[in-house]
Amino acid sequence: MRGFLLIAETLFLGDDLLPWLLLAVGAALAVANIAAVVRPPREDPSDPNSPRREPASISRAIPLVLLGVAVSVWALVTLIAG
């Protein structure tokens, strides 16, 4: 019974769950938008010879990349400081 109580009181990733999640989401937002501009997906993913789609709009991608980087930096600073 004591082992069960110890497991129930321990949080996943400790008390830093929210900063870890923000770091993951922010980094994914930045990387995905950079990838959409640099190397857009293929029109038919099952055909390796199909042409690629047009790159994502720069005017949409840049603010999303900046937002992702800002969230990631904020989460990283929170994890390092606390």
Instruction: Find the helix or strand (DSSP H, E) in which 68 lies.
Output: helix 58-81
The pLDDT, as a whole number, for residue 8 is: 56
pLDDT digits (tens, 9 = 90+) for 22-66: 999 999 999 999 999 998 888 898 998 989 889 889 999 999 999
At residue 11, φ and ψ (nearest 5 deg) are -85, 150
Q: Which residue's entry shows tokens 């950079």?
A: 34
pTM beyond 0.95, yes or no: no
